[in-house]
Structure 1
Amino acid sequence: MLLNSKELTKSYGIHTILHDISFVINASDRIGIVGPNGVGKSTLLRLLVGQEEFDSGTITYGPGAEFGYLPQTTPNFYGQTIQDLILESVGNLKQLEEQMHALEAAMARAEGEQLTSLMEEYTTISTRFQDRGGYDLDHKIDMIMDGLRLSYLPRTRVVETLSGGEKERVGLATLLLRSPDLLFLDEPTNHLDFATMEWLEQYLASYRGAIVMVSHDRQFLNKTVNAIFELDEHSHQLHIYHGNYDAYVEAKQAERKRWEEAYEQQQEEIKELHKRIKVSGRQVGHTYRAPRDNDKFARYFFNQNVQSAVARNVRAAQVQLERIEADPIPKPPELLPVNSHFQTEQIQSDSVIRLEKVSKSFGERKLIDNLDMILGSGARILLTGPNGTGKTTLLRMIMGEIEPDSGRIQIVEGVRLGYLAQDPESLDLEKTVIENYKYGLIGFEGELIGRLLGYGLFRLEDMQKKAGQLSIGQRRKLELARLLAARPNVLLLDEPTNYISLNVLEAFETAIQNFAGPVIVISHDRWFIQRFGGEIHELEPTTMAP
């Protein structure tokens, strides 16, 4: 047993986030945590690693168990170089190596039972050292840096000067180098390209410790987990499903169907019992007739028996009804209907956006070189390529946020660009959900609240929450709502599936498929890519100088 959580509960003010969460994690476990945005997935990880305090319950780690944590937002590592982080990460291996040397020296002087005890301790530590790659440390460092496509960066590079994606991968690399018994990963694939993601899948498949991860990448979950922990947004409790993501979906659908059928059957039984009580009660009231002179006793005795039998039936029905009402099957909660439909008209032009000989460099690093591209009215373009090849830069040049070094970008008159950045960044965290949503929109607040609720992304009680109180996934949903409200006729989407919970994701994918105008998407979500279709434009690496 690596970790045991018992009756864990966490609230923020009057809002309960997690209630009575209990589970055990063993060395072979590969667990994916799923649930709607804001349900407490990241909070659970922070509680498990001690970054937040829980209200009640216990968290117990196994003897000597070590954990490592990759947060959803990687810290800046101020002042540290890549080499500093590498040395810091392998420090536990150096400690194990020093312990082994000390034990070797002690064993040379020991005898009898003391020698036996020292040998047992040495075996335990040397096994851990071997399992964590201590005997082949230099190769392991190179292998992980290569696998995460970081080998082009000089190890003297200060981490805070790296891009967001590079920081994320450096953080993941240094965590994997530590080789803890238990890995906690929060959205580990958000900044990974295809090759890096496939490498990580293979690496985690052979990882000797346990893994607990929050992820919205369905294919990644299918390939890496053997159990799903679902956090329920209504009960705030944990439901455990064995198998990968597909197995979870199948089990969840079957469970919902059984629940709905059981609830309907009980409702029918309650109606039938009410009817029986009502009819039988009326029958008791009308059964009695005054006895006649002839055979008065016989008729009276018969009527009394009938009334007694009917009364017993009424009482039995009442008892059965009370038993059901004492512990009824709860009504299955209504699934929040997500309506991510874009209301726009298609632009009638063969050349909505035209790029001619566009080039862009940052210092000595050339990202885009003489790029030509024409975006027609019905275009569906997927931009792919390794990290650092200029995909995000290209979208930002089309948006006008960055100027190209050479070439020109022409956009036809009447275009309304809708841009979704890779990370939630356009919100005012001090303003409320409705204040962020209505910024730049025309209409009464009540009308705008109704429109926002109509998307199915938020509930009425969320309207007055500050954006800074929202999870990253909820902020992403607020940006989606603003994108829908802007009614764009051209979409530029940079990793649109990042941070979005799976229930919202499928509705948003359908909205993109049905969008009337041209779409350019950057994505490494293989499931999304299969549904999106369209032309694939791969940006090749050019000069990869630092």
Structure 2
Amino acid sequence: MILQCSHICKSFATDVVLDDVSFHINDNEKAAIVGVNGSGKSTLLKIIVGKSGYDSGDIIIKKEATVGYLAQNQEFESGESIIEEMQTAKPEVKILEKKMHELSDRMNSASGDELDSLIRQYDNARHRFEQLDGYSYESEINGVLKGLGFEDNDFTKPISKLSGGQKTRVALAKMLLQAPDLIILDEPTNHLDMNSIHWLEGYLAGYKGAVLIVAHDRYFLDKIVTKVVELRQTHSTVFSGNYSDYSIKRQALLDSLMKQYMNQQAEIKHQEEVITKLRSFNREKSIKRAESRQKMLDKMDRIEKPIEENTQMHLLFTPKIQSGNDVLTVKNLSKSFGTLSLFSDIAFEVKRGEKVAIIGDNGTGKTTILKMINKMLAPDTGSITLGTNVQIAYYDQEHQVLHMEKTLFEEIQDTYPTMTNTQIRNMLAAFLFTEDDVFKKIKNLSGGERGRVSLAKLMLSDANFLILDEPTNHLDIDSKEILENAINNFEGTVLYVSHDRFFINKTATRILDLTKHQIVNYVGNYDYYLEKKEDNERAQLNDTIIAAASSDNTVSASANTPEGQNATSDTKLSWKQQKEEQARLRKLENEVKKIEAEIEKLENENEELTELLQTDEVSTNSVKLQEISSKIEKNTNRLEELMERWESIQ
């Protein structure tokens, strides 16, 4: 066991945040902490890493265990470039590398006892260097940085010039390279695109240490964790399994608790009625019996209601009128900012009743498309046509449609002046804004609270075409599920941008993947997209290979069109060209086999040489020690070259 939290309690003044919270994390275990916004998840992480105090309880971390912590809003300052900062993650590697070179140079001119001493030092240094994976450290740095979305030309950028999100990714990369025994992450996916999240999933799932995560990304949690700690109404409950397992078990537990609560309430009501009736007899025996029953009732352990009345917002989208079948038609759309081209000549349609998700890497232009549909940006070329009776409501991830100086009450009142004060208060209460909350200014609200205000305005709009930009940002898991149900039950049309794969999987009937400046269409949810994307990319790769062998390069790669049909090439390779391409591929396959054979040979040889170093015959012979150590180093360098060539061919 690497971490144990026992009976943790934490209050801010009279506000109890955590009460008797207990759980533990085993070595190599992957666990998540979940709960609604404000339930104390981030506070608990800060308590564990010593950045916040607590009122009572015990936190025990395994002796000598190293802990890495990534805060939700990471403060990361450095005067170094990204690559320079990464190289400090394991400072011992650089020190050992320098020491080994120095020892090797000195051994060339040494002899006798001095040479024996240098060889022993070199062997010790090399052994420690191998323990730290020193030979693969540079490639490990490159792999982690690229996995988290950095390109080669980003490596030399000074960290001081990066955005807040980029700095958080640098901090995450450095922590992963340091490989602590326990990684603690607070919303690690907030600044990552889908490819980076997918990479991080694989990295953490195979991580040799323990991982504790706070995240609202349910798909991410499903892929990684085997334990879920739920914080609800200040208390903790531990569930085994991933997020989907937790969701099922939690619902079953809530149903059971609700049944127990209702049964107890019925029993309490029955006993109170009996007590009242006994007292009404006004006889000594009946009064004593009433008092006895009252004492038993007073001693009863009361079951708390599992879900309080005001913990979930009420969300229902209802279009005022029905639109025509053709809701949106986009043709030949292009957009650039200076020399940066986001996309060119894209086209797609949206039909009535569809729920369409636009996905893609950060910076590909997804939000730009939504803004152009809403006439907030002008396209460079192309047309955007809305169908008959289409009424749009727009949810902006930056909440620019909200007026920062207005109160919540004024924001609703000014947008919908026909609503009465009571109607406005009831509406805001449905989105968890009660009493004096309604007089808070928009600028003083949290991201999640602004999101709820935007959703309230969206619901009041009566629109039949919802355009949503990252609607799940800042929403807790319960609120996401409510939004999912509202969208699935909506009789109108929805077009949205999201990185939340669980949300996409639950709501999308079609996915538009904005990749390589083009739109690729997938008819289905996110699981279907993952399945078909791999087939699509394999087909494109084959077409690219064929096109490269063609002298006129006129073969076009196949991709899904907006209507879901594959474009096919009109140009066919000649019989001779096909034979040449087959011969080229056979040549590469033969080279791969030779490389793999040499890699196996060198690895076996290094194992034998390492064992030889431990024998009495060699360990007492300085000349042989030097020869074998040099041979191992030479083999290792050759292995690096072979691996690079193997990866290049693959």
The CA deviation at 1:507 is 1.7
C-alpha distance after superposition, 1:158-214 (max 9, x if no partner) = 456667765554443333223222222222234444443332222111112221111
* SS of residue paired to 2:369: helix
- Quote the Cα distance in structure 2 between the aligned partners of 1:457 and 1:484: 15
Residue 474 of structure 2 is aligned to residue 499 of structure 1? yes
Residue 156 of structure 1 deviates from its aligned partner by 1.9
Whole-angstrom CA distance in 2 between matches of 1:502 and 1:397: 30
Q: Secondary structure of 2:283's partner?
A: helix
CA distance in 2, matches of 1:22, 1:164: 34
Whether 2:162 is the aligned partner of 1:187: answer no
1:206-233 deviation line (CA, Å, top 9, x unaligned): 112221111222222122111111111x
**CA displacement 1:318-365 (0-9 Å, x = unmatched):** 5433432xx323344435453211233355345544433222223433
Q: Write 1 or 2 for the structure with the bigger share of helix.
A: 2
Given the superposition, is the C-alpha separation of residues 468 and 66 from structure 1 closer, same or farther in structure 2, using an over 3 Å criterion? farther
Are 1:449 and 2:425 counterparts? yes
**Structure 2 match to 1:262:** 260
Task: Please list the CA deviations of residues 17-71 of structure 1 after superposition, one character each: whole Å capped at 9, or x if unmatched.
Answer: 2334343333222111111122222232233334444455554544333333333
Name the amino acid aligned to 1:219.
Y
How many angstroms does 1:138 deviate by? Answer: 0.9
1:320 aligns with 2:296: yes
Map 1:85-96 to 2 at 5 A: 85-91=85-91
Q: Which residue of 1 aligns with 2:107?
A: none
Instruction: Name the CA shift for 1:36/1:393 in 2 (closer, same or farther; >3 Å).
Output: same
Q: Structure 1 59/131 Cα, relative in aligned 2: closer, same or farther at 3 Å?
A: farther
CA distance in 2, matches of 1:2, 1:468: 42
Is contact 2:326–2:388 with CA below 8 Å preserved after alignment? no
Q: Aligned match of 1:371 in 315, 336, 346?
A: 346
**Gap change, CA 1:52 and 1:417, over 3 Å in 2:** farther
Q: 1:370 to 1:284 in 2, by over 3 A?
A: closer
**Gap change, CA 1:532 and 1:269, over 3 Å in 2:** closer
> For residue 385 of structure 1, what is the aligned residue in structure 2?
360
- Paired amino acid for 1:345: K
TM (norm. structure 1) is 0.76
| Superposed CA offset, 1:424-481 (max 9, x none) | 6666677655455556442454431211212x44444643556566554344333322
Q: 1:511 to 1:283 in 2, by over 3 A?
A: closer
- TM-score, normalised with respect to structure 2: 0.65
- 8 Å Cα contact 1:38-1:473 kept in structure 2: no
Aligned partner of 1:525 in structure 2 is: 500
C-alpha distance in 2 between matches for 1:165 and 1:96: 33
Does the CA contact (< 8 Å) of 2:316 and 2:459 recur in 1? yes
Shift in CA distance, 150/14, structure 1 to aligned 2, threshold 3 Å: same
Which one-letter code corresponds to 2:245 in the other structure?
A
**Percent identity (aligned):** 36
For residues 243 and 213 of structure 1, the distance between their equivalents in structure 2, rounded to whole angstroms, comes to: 14
Q: Structure 2: which amino acid aligns with 1:537?
A: L
Question: 1:60–1:277: structure 2 CA closer, same or farther, 3 Å change rule?
Answer: closer
Matched, 1:338 2:336: no
* 2:154 aligned residue: 154
Q: Confirm whether residue 231 of structure 1 aligns to residue 231 of structure 2.
A: yes
Aligned with 2:154: secondary structure? coil
Contact 1:386 1:541 (C-alpha < 8 Å) held by counterparts = no
Matching residue within 458, 462, 469 for 1:483: 458
Mapped partners of 1:427, 1:272: distance in 2: 51
Tell me if the contact between 1:38 and 1:471 (Cα under 8 Å) persists in the aligned partners: no
On the 8 A contact 1:347/1:489 being kept in 2, the answer is yes
The alpha carbon displacement at 1:515 in A equals 3.0
Distance change (3 Å), C-alpha of 1:79 and 1:66: same
Partner AA of 2:297 in structure 1: L
User: Given that residues 346 and 377 in structure 1 are in contact (C-alpha distance below 8 angstroms), is that contact kept between their aligned partners in structure 2?
Assistant: no
Structure 2 CA distance for aligned equivalents of residues 50 and 475 of structure 1: 31
Give the match for residue 105 of structure 1. none
2:523 corresponds in structure 1 to none
Distance 2:91 2:152 in 1: 24
Deviation at 1:414, TM superposition (A): 6.8
**Cα RMSD (Å):** 4.0
Show the counterpart of 2:145.
145
Write the distance in 1 (CA, Å) between the matches of 2:187 and 2:463: 29
Contact 2:78–2:159 (Cα < 8 Å) also in 1: yes
Question: Whole-Å Cα distance in 1 between the matches of residues 89 and 302 of structure 2?
Answer: 54
1:71 pairs with 2:45:
no
User: What pairs up with 1:41-56 in 2 under 5 angstroms?
Assistant: 41-54=41-54
